[in-house]
Amino acid sequence: MSIITKGRRNSDDDTELNMIPIMNIFLVIIPFLLTSVSFFHIKVISTSVPVMADSMHESLKPKKMKLTVIVEMRQADMRLSTTAENLDPQELEQFEQLFKLQAAGMYPLMELNEYLQSIKSTYPESDTLILIPDETVIYESIIQAMDAARNFNDSPLFPNVVLSGSLG
């Protein structure tokens, strides 16, 4: 065996990666990440309750064809109606819809979402939905209804959801 070959084999055997500095870096990064980790991600849904508004400011704005959708979450069904300043009551009546509860007592939110999409495509400027749940409706169902009303996939439908109690 030549001397050159022997020398090359020795250098191959000695090549070993020094892991200690990498380990040191890991030991620094891991505690840092542990302090910044969050195991549950809290997000929020913005909403408001009806309040007395200053009508002077509203009248100065240019009028756009907007519908305000009203969704009543009742014990047996969901009733959808609309209101608008520039439309006749007869025109608004055509949007009225009743969604029966599903067999498992769940609200038909997919149907609601599809119907809201059709309203949005007709009146794209519309952005407000008033949600009126019955007193017995649980918070989880309200949040689900808000989700169905706010967006379809990633496109917004009615992002301004106003939560209101029923009158009477």
Count of residues of this chain found to bind other proteins when the rule CB under 8 A is applied: 44
Residue range at the interface with other proteins (CB under 8 A); choices 74-82, 88-96, 118-126, 144-152? 144-152
What track of x and - describes contact with other proteins for positions 13 through 52 (by CB under 8 A)?
A: ------xx-xx--xx-xx--xxxxxxxxxxxxxxxxxxx-
Query: Smallest Cα–Cα separation from 120: which of 77, 160, 166?
Result: 160
Query: Per CB under 8 A, does 144 bind other proteins?
Result: yes
Interatomic CA distance for residues 108 and 101, integer angstroms: 6
CB of 133 to other proteins, least distance (A): 4
145-164 positions binding other proteins, by CB under 8 A: 146-147, 150-151, 163
User: For residue 87, what are the contacts with CB-CB under 8 A and spacing of at least 6?
Assistant: 65, 67
What track of x and - describes contact with other proteins for positions 54 through 93 (by CB under 8 A)?
A: ----------------------------------------
Query: Per CB under 8 A, does 143 bind other proteins?
Result: yes
Q: Which is nearer to other proteins, 1 or 19 (CB)?
A: 19
Instruction: Give the number of other CB atoms < 10 A from CB of residue 84.
Output: 17
User: For residue 135, what are the contacts with CB-CB under 8 A and spacing of at least 6?
Assistant: 165, 166
Query: Smallest Cα–Cα separation from 160: which of 138, 129, 136?
Result: 129
Query: Per CB under 8 A, does 138 bind other proteins?
Result: yes
SS3 assignment, position 84: coil
